[in-house]
Amino acid sequence: MKPAEPPISPRAQSGERSRLAQRLRRVIRGEVLFDAASRGRYATDASIYRVEPVGVVVPVDEADLLAALELARELGVPVVPRGAGSSQCGQALGSGLVIDTSRHLNRILAFDPAARTVEVQPGIVLDRLNAQLAPAGLWFPVDVCSSAQATLGGMAGNNASGVRSVVYGNMVHNVVGIDAILADGTPEHFGPFGVGATRALGSARASAMVSRLFQLAAREREEIERVWPRVLRRVGGYNLDVFHPVSVRPYTGDGSVNLAHLLVGSEGTLAHFRRLHLKLAPLPGHRLLAVLSFPSLPAAIAAVPEIASLGPSAVELLDASMLVPLRGVRTLRPLVDTLLAGRPAALLLVEFAGDERGPLLRRLRALEEGVAGPGAQAAFLEVADPGRQRLVWALHRAAIEGALVGALVGVGARRPVSFIDECAVPLPRLAEYVEAIEETMRRHRVAGVWHGRASVGALSLRPLLALRAGEAAKMRPIAEEAAALVRHFGGAFSGGQGDGLAGSEWIERDFGPRLARAFEEVKAIFDPDGLMNPGKIVHPLRMDDGVRMRVAPGPARAPADGVEAAVARCDGNGRCRALDSGAMCPSYRITLDERDSPRGRVNTLRLALEGRFGPEGVGASEVAQAMALCVSCKACRSECPSAVDVARLKIEALSRRPQTLSRGERLFASLPAWAPMASRLPWLPNLRDRVPGMAALTGRLLGLARRPLPRWRRDTFLRAWSQRAQLGQGRGAPAADGDGRVVLFADCFSNHFEPEVPHAAVRVLEAAGLRVEVARPAPNDPQPGRPLCCGRSYLSAGLLDRARAEAARTVAALAPLIEEGADVVGLEPACLLTMRDEFRWLGLGDAAQALAGRALLFEEFLVRERAARRPMPAFLTSPWQRALLHGHCHQQAFDAVPDLVQVLSWVPGLEVASAPAGCCGMGDGFGYRADGHGASLRMGELGLLPAVRDADASTVIVSDGFGCRRQIADGAQRGALHVARVLEAALPAGGVPILRPGGAGG
Ligand SMILES: Cc1cc2nc3c(=O)[nH]c(=O)nc-3n(C[C@H](O)[C@H](O)[C@H](O)COP(=O)(O)OP(=O)(O)OC[C@H]3O[C@@H](n4cnc5c(N)ncnc54)[C@H](O)[C@@H]3O)c2cc1C
Ligand code: SF4
């Protein structure tokens, strides 16, 4: 094999690199990232490989893109185009100059709903594009499972295909034109060619190239006809068949040539895409879905041809084992239980879509009778409701993401590895192929996970290998046999995932030496100097070349916990770059900077652990920079398929930083220590927002943002509660059955700034017949007069010892009550959920574990009590018509928002709607920092604040987070209420709180 990439000399790694960076900075306005952290962050994608680029350029516009390419060409530096970097075969990795278009070149440039076309820049993400098309009843139908992060440029680069590819085909069937920049810098439009072409080639260079391509294709015509795999899906090699259509699904309706189709699937090796012209499809009026469960994988595969004959829009295979971990996701658990009830081994999700329901129903019935009828092995579950269908597809995506990253029960050190993924085989031979490859796997004593596009015969098989423990050696023999089997059954080795570093080596097996040489000629025509993403498709390296493996051999088991474990778990799938689904990640969403994504943060930690930033390791400034905008919302904790909890990693990183805290940080962190004093003299700290100039002064001295601070109160809840106890007020005896006892945890925020909240909670709980006690320090506490605290503010500053000490006080105070069987109820999600989460890993022993199991949010407790048949108060008709609900980000991360919705639904006449998911931007007091204020408001503007502004006067804004309520007040000038206060207002004689935008209602 020829060397794949012109090696970058050692000199280029230092002096030449900085000269290149300097020259780039002179010609482009976008980011030029040549530091070790940036290069390391772009050294991985969602594959098993790691190749460090010489540097990264993030162009702000097309002029920048052209300038960067021109300079790279002049200096002979290879370029690696990159979108989201979610490829699984290493397509977006290389040692040259990475050009990331996802941050700035991500707009829709033209949209013609009548013609059903759209022109986009390459960095736009599929979900974002489709969200903008949906109001016109249209979509771009290449619905890849990575739609939350995949860019259209990357999709075109990979010739990506979606769940419904049996109807809509791959990218090649849906791209109608590409404005590209050729290797010599010539801009050219590639589109329909010959008769019917609307645009002629503009450059002599392109015309010359195209005539050579036609000659080459004519020469290879017979070989193309003889060798080309006749399958529904193939993405390997170059699409030379544009000139002689032989694909089962032709690229154009009339067999004409569209030159853009040759560029689709070229993985950045032929030209750089500047703009894409896409064909759109109408959103179907109806979708019907059924889930078929089979006792064995062969039984499921055997049913595929018959199902395919009914004309489904999707047939997706899932190994039942992929569903098991999803039992842990509360919203999916009931569905998982239903689907796994008969202990199936494999499932097929079968969808029919179209504009008329009748014909779809008939096909669904035919499916039920044919495949799942009497005597058949399959169980049939019809999913008619569109909401439930969405849930099934959410489960499908979660299962695939889990399978990709190894979140499978019992996998241990072994993880699914992508190297024989989505081999495509003609449907009639699919069962034989599966049987044969299963036999191969058995012989090599390797288990695997199956899923994939059964509709087009492109199934993913991910062997479970412990690469760290040297099992990479098993890849080659398995791949050799798989490639031979695929060929034997008339299939295509690369049916879906692309070639990249993992698959390019196998192209010659698939297409034979003659066409492999023809592909090299195609490459030479476009890129004579071999500077466009070298090493992919032609002149490949060996797929198991250890130099490029991300996971170096080492201990067989990854560490179980902490930074090292998170780094080992993250597979770079890029789900954390999602912009339009779920809550992840507010800081990435406002900057679109890879550094600010959870993946970027974990990669930075990886580099720190490797010592790339010097002896400070995880405490290095590069890590602090990557963590700077993290608001500890924990969205990544619940939404990352690898369950990487960056909020926790941030705490660990902060705790290891060498420098001392600033005055402001120290003040924030130690709030629990000085809050009692401040509440005795509240006028003093409150002067800050009353005396002109004080806000500016505190900004300078303490780094505080120029926004009003919460108003200190003298009438704290705990003081009022003590007085009440002294007066002997409140419900005395416990309920008759003796179990009506609850311990209320009055957090610092509720106690000092908004005592109405705990008062309201007490009223509601007592109205439910409960005896409320309030958590107090233990009798032997050295500071018995100081309220208990969860220690969150210390955690946020990385002061682990101080946090541990606060947590230990709280655990000591609550442990006896827990032992007596009491539940602890909290009101502020950040505080209460710290007991459930961080308390567990602070090393506080069994008592902390017990508390974690009994600590409930107010609404969780009410829902549980009602389920246990405790009568709830008789709520009267709501004073408001609607409630707009914003779940605190930790409530979202802990799946607690449904309980919030449920308790609000108990109020007669109150219609409940949810604000878009996501963090308000105030996590860990971020918005009170001068350097966080602007970013915090931008996070609020991502969804919450516009939704609040849209709410009319008869709508009450509900949020349990103190910081969220402050953000709503400051950012949208609306008051907001804790749910306890909404319920209190609906109690007989509850009284409607007055909502003040400047505060949280009094
Ligand atoms: C959980 C998960 C599920 C997935 N599901 C699917 C699936 O259903 N179907 C599927 O096909 N793939 C799937 N993938 C793989 C991958 O996400 C897709 O192929 C996706 O289209 C890649 O987009 P990207 O923006 O990440 O591209 P990148 O990985 O950044 O780039 C892909 C290729 O395109 C090239 N490229 C990028 N931009 C340009 C440009 N402007 N000009 C020229 N070349 C360019 C790159 O050099 C590279 O070779 C999945 C991946 C994951 C992690
Ligand atoms: S905690 Fe929130 S802000 Fe921080 S990385 Fe995770 S998703 Fe992003």
Ligand 2 atom closest to residue 631's alpha carbon, by position in its atom list: 3
The H-or-E segment that residue 291 falls in is strand 286-294
Whole-model pTM: value is: 0.93
Q: Is the CB of 423 under 6 A from ligand 2?
A: no
**Rounded mean pLDDT, 898-924:** 95
Dist. CA 450–CA 377, nearest whole Å: 19
User: Residue 16: inside a domain, yes or no?
Assistant: yes
CA of 584 to the centre of ligand 2 (A): 7
Q: Can you name the residues that pair with 741 across neighbouring β-strands? A: 771
Supply the residue whose CA is at minimum distance from atom 4 of ligand 2: 630
Q: Is the CB of 652 under 6 A from ligand 1?
A: no
Q: Is the CB of 632 under 6 A from ligand 2?
A: yes
Residue pair 341/425 in contact (Cβ under 8 Å)? The answer is: no
Dist. CA 608–CA 791, nearest whole Å: 27
Residue, of 643 and 310, whose pLDDT is higher: 310
Q: How far apart are the first and last CA of the chain?
A: 76
Pairing of the two strands 117-120 and 272-279: antiparallel
**Ligand that lies nearest to the alpha carbon of residue 100, given by its number in the listed order:** 1
CA of 298 to the centre of ligand 2 (A): 42
CATH number at residue 375: 3.30.70.3450
Looking at the 3D structure of the chain, how many domains does it have?
A: 6
The predicted structure's pLDDT at residue 298: 92
**Rounded mean pLDDT, 505-531:** 95
CA of 942 to the centre of ligand 2 (A): 15
Q: What angle do CA 870, 876, 880 make, to 5 degrees?
A: 125
| 38-42, 807-811, 867-871, 893-897: segment of lowest average pLDDT | 867-871
Judgement on whether residues 890 and 925 belong to the same structural domain of the protein: yes
Q: Is the CB of 586 under 6 A from ligand 2?
A: yes
Q: Is the CB of 630 under 6 A from ligand 2?
A: yes
Q: Is the CB of 634 under 6 A from ligand 2?
A: yes
Q: Is the CB of 602 under 6 A from ligand 2?
A: no
CA of 405 to the centre of ligand 2 (A): 19
Q: Return all residues near 267 (Cβ < 8 A) that are at least 6 apart.
A: 91, 157, 158, 498, 499, 500, 533, 536, 537
Phi/psi for 784 (5° steps) reads: -65, -20
Phi/psi zone of residue 662: left (φ > 0), alpha (ψ -120 to 50 degrees), beta?
A: beta
Which tokens is 279 given? Answer: 């064909």
**Ligand that lies nearest to the alpha carbon of residue 605, given by its number in the listed order:** 2
Dist. CA 494–CA 662, nearest whole Å: 55
Q: What secondary structure, in 3-state letters, does 91-120 show?
A: CCCCCCEEEECCCCCCCEEEEECCCCEEEE
Ligand 2 atom closest to residue 601's alpha carbon, by position in its atom list: 5
Dist. CA 520–CA 511, nearest whole Å: 12
Between helices 357-371 and 297-308, what is the axis angle to 10°? 140
Judgement on whether residues 741 and 857 belong to the same structural domain of the protein: yes
**Domain boundary residue, one of 656, 676, 697:** 656
Three-class DSSP category at 738: coil
Alpha carbon 306 to its chain's center: 35
Dist. CA 302–CA 292, nearest whole Å: 13
Supply the residue whose CA is at minimum distance from atom 3 of ligand 2: 630
Dist. CA 236–CA 74, nearest whole Å: 31
Candidate from 149, 579, 631, 638 with most ligand 2 atoms within 8 A of CB, to mutate: 631
Q: Can you name the residues that pair with 774 across neighbouring β-strands? A: 744
Candidate from 99, 121, 145 with most ligand 1 atoms within 8 A of CB, to mutate: 145
User: Residue 449: inside a domain, yes or no?
Assistant: no
**Ligand that lies nearest to the alpha carbon of residue 629, given by its number in the listed order:** 2
Query: Residue 26 corresponds to which amino acid?
Result: R
Ligand 2 atom closest to residue 637's alpha carbon, by position in its atom list: 6
Provide the pLDDT confidence category of residue 409 given band limits of 50, 70 and 90: very low
- Is the per-residue pLDDT at 596 higher than 60? yes
Judgement on whether residues 148 and 271 belong to the same structural domain of the protein: yes
Q: Is the CB of 144 under 6 A from ligand 1?
A: yes
Return mean pLDDT, the chain: 90
Q: What is the DSSP string of 123-187?
A: T-BHHHHHHHHGGGTEE-----TTTTT-BHHHHHHHT-B-TTHHHH-BGGGTEEEEEEE-TTS-E
Judgement on whether residues 86 and 202 belong to the same structural domain of the protein: no
Dist. CA 334–CA 718, nearest whole Å: 41
Residue pair 910/882 in contact (Cβ under 8 Å)? The answer is: yes
Judgement on whether residues 934 and 822 belong to the same structural domain of the protein: no
Q: Is the CB of 770 under 6 A from ligand 1?
A: no
| 94-103, 374-383, 685-694: segment of lowest average pLDDT | 374-383
Ligand 1 atom closest to residue 125's alpha carbon, by position in its atom list: 25
**Domain boundary residue, one of 282, 315, 343:** 282
Q: Side by side, which strands form the sheet with 955-959? A: 911-914, 882-886, 955-959
Residue pair 79/99 in contact (Cβ under 8 Å)? The answer is: yes
Q: Is the CB of 452 under 6 A from ligand 1?
A: no
Phi/psi for 855 (5° steps) reads: -90, 120
Judgement on whether residues 366 and 325 belong to the same structural domain of the protein: yes
**Ligand that lies nearest to the alpha carbon of residue 653, given by its number in the listed order:** 2
CA of 422 to the centre of ligand 1 (A): 14
User: Residue 889: inside a domain, yes or no?
Assistant: yes
Q: Is the CB of 503 under 6 A from ligand 2?
A: no
Torsion on CA atoms 68, 69, 75, 80, rounded to nearest 10: 100
**Ligand that lies nearest to the alpha carbon of residue 451, given by its number in the listed order:** 1
Supply the residue whose CA is at minimum distance from atom 37 of ligand 1: 154
Supply the residue whose CA is at minimum distance from atom 2 of ligand 2: 633
Residue pair 496/161 in contact (Cβ under 8 Å)? The answer is: yes
**Domain boundary residue, one of 103, 127, 150:** 103
> pLDDT digit string (tens) for 831-882?
999 999 999 999 999 999 999 999 999 999 999 999 998 888 889 888 899 9
Phi/psi for 276 (5° steps) reads: -125, 135
**Ligand that lies nearest to the alpha carbon of residue 587, given by its number in the listed order:** 2
Judgement on whether residues 65 and 167 belong to the same structural domain of the protein: no
Dist. CA 157–CA 164, nearest whole Å: 19
The predicted structure's pLDDT at residue 216: 96
Ligand 1 atom closest to residue 122's alpha carbon, by position in its atom list: 41
CA of 289 to the centre of ligand 1 (A): 28
Q: Is the CB of 598 under 6 A from ligand 2?
A: yes
**Residue matched to tokens 């080492």:** 554
User: Residue 253: inside a domain, yes or no?
Assistant: yes
**Rounded mean pLDDT, 946-973:** 97
Supply the residue whose CA is at minimum distance from atom 7 of ligand 2: 585
CA of 576 to the centre of ligand 2 (A): 9
CATH number at residue 44: 3.30.43.10
The H-or-E segment that residue 424 falls in is strand 423-424
User: Residue 517: inside a domain, yes or no?
Assistant: no
Dist. CA 368–CA 363, nearest whole Å: 9
> pLDDT digit string (tens) for 603-634?
999 999 999 999 999 999 999 999 999 999 99
Judgement on whether residues 266 and 303 belong to the same structural domain of the protein: no
**Ligand that lies nearest to the alpha carbon of residue 935, given by its number in the listed order:** 2
Q: What angle do CA 826, 831, 834 make, to 5 degrees?
A: 110
Q: Is the CB of 267 under 6 A from ligand 1?
A: yes
> pLDDT digit string (tens) for 488-507?
998 888 767 789 999 899 89
**Rounded mean pLDDT, 284-307:** 95
Query: Which DSSP category does 82 fall into?
Result: E
The predicted structure's pLDDT at residue 407: 44
The predicted structure's pLDDT at residue 148: 95
User: Residue 21: inside a domain, yes or no?
Assistant: yes
Q: Can you name the residues that pair with 955 across neighbouring β-strands? A: 882
Residue pair 76/184 in contact (Cβ under 8 Å)? The answer is: no
Q: Is the CB of 269 under 6 A from ligand 1?
A: no
**Ligand that lies nearest to the alpha carbon of residue 589, given by its number in the listed order:** 2
Judgement on whether residues 93 and 120 belong to the same structural domain of the protein: no
> pLDDT digit string (tens) for 173-229?
999 999 999 999 999 999 998 876 677 888 899 999 999 999 999 999 999 999 998
Dist. CA 499–CA 493, nearest whole Å: 9
**Rounded mean pLDDT, 680-702:** 92
CA of 210 to the centre of ligand 1 (A): 26
Domain of 325 in residue numbering reads as 284-386
Dist. CA 696–CA 705, nearest whole Å: 9
> pLDDT digit string (tens) for 419-455?
888 888 999 999 999 999 999 999 999 988 899 999 9
CATH number at residue 207: 3.30.465.10
CA of 307 to the centre of ligand 2 (A): 42
Residue pair 275/109 in contact (Cβ under 8 Å)? The answer is: yes
**Rounded mean pLDDT, 294-317:** 95
Q: What secondary structure, in 3-state letters, does 740-770 show?
A: CEEEEECCHHHHHHCCHHHHHHHHHHHHCCC
Candidate from 634, 889, 938 with most ligand 2 atoms within 8 A of CB, to mutate: 634
CA of 402 to the centre of ligand 2 (A): 19
CATH number at residue 927: 3.40.50
**Dihedral sign for Cα atoms in the order 578, 579, 584, 590:** positive
User: Residue 14: inside a domain, yes or no?
Assistant: yes
Q: How far is CA 661 from CA 312, 359, 613, 790, 838, in A?
A: 61, 68, 21, 20, 22
Q: Is the CB of 933 under 6 A from ligand 2?
A: no
Judgement on whether residues 26 and 120 belong to the same structural domain of the protein: no
Supply the residue whose CA is at minimum distance from atom 6 of ligand 2: 636
Judgement on whether residues 678 and 584 belong to the same structural domain of the protein: no
Supply the residue whose CA is at minimum distance from atom 7 of ligand 1: 144
Dist. CA 570–CA 60, nearest whole Å: 29
CA of 87 to the centre of ligand 1 (A): 5
Phi/psi zone of residue 309: left (φ > 0), alpha (ψ -120 to 50 degrees), beta?
A: alpha
Q: What angle do CA 272, 276, 279 make, to 5 degrees?
A: 150
Sequence-ordered alpha helix ranges (H) in 269-332? 297-308
Q: Is the CB of 453 under 6 A from ligand 2?
A: no
Supply the residue whose CA is at minimum distance from atom 17 of ligand 1: 86
The predicted structure's pLDDT at residue 661: 86
Phi/psi for 689 (5° steps) reads: -100, 5
CA of 150 to the centre of ligand 1 (A): 6
Residue pair 982/970 in contact (Cβ under 8 Å)? The answer is: no
Q: How many residues does the chain have?
A: 1002
The predicted structure's pLDDT at residue 214: 94
The predicted structure's pLDDT at residue 732: 44
The predicted structure's pLDDT at residue 724: 84
**Ligand that lies nearest to the alpha carbon of residue 626, given by its number in the listed order:** 2
User: Residue 710: inside a domain, yes or no?
Assistant: yes
Supply the residue whose CA is at minimum distance from atom 15 of ligand 1: 87
Q: Is the CB of 101 under 6 A from ligand 1?
A: yes
Q: Is the CB of 91 under 6 A from ligand 1?
A: yes
Q: Is the CB of 150 under 6 A from ligand 1?
A: yes
Q: Is the CB of 151 under 6 A from ligand 1?
A: yes
Residue 32: CB atoms within 10 Å: 23
Judgement on whether residues 50 and 65 belong to the same structural domain of the protein: yes
Dist. CA 112–CA 124, nearest whole Å: 17
Residue pair 549/48 in contact (Cβ under 8 Å)? The answer is: yes
The predicted structure's pLDDT at residue 745: 97
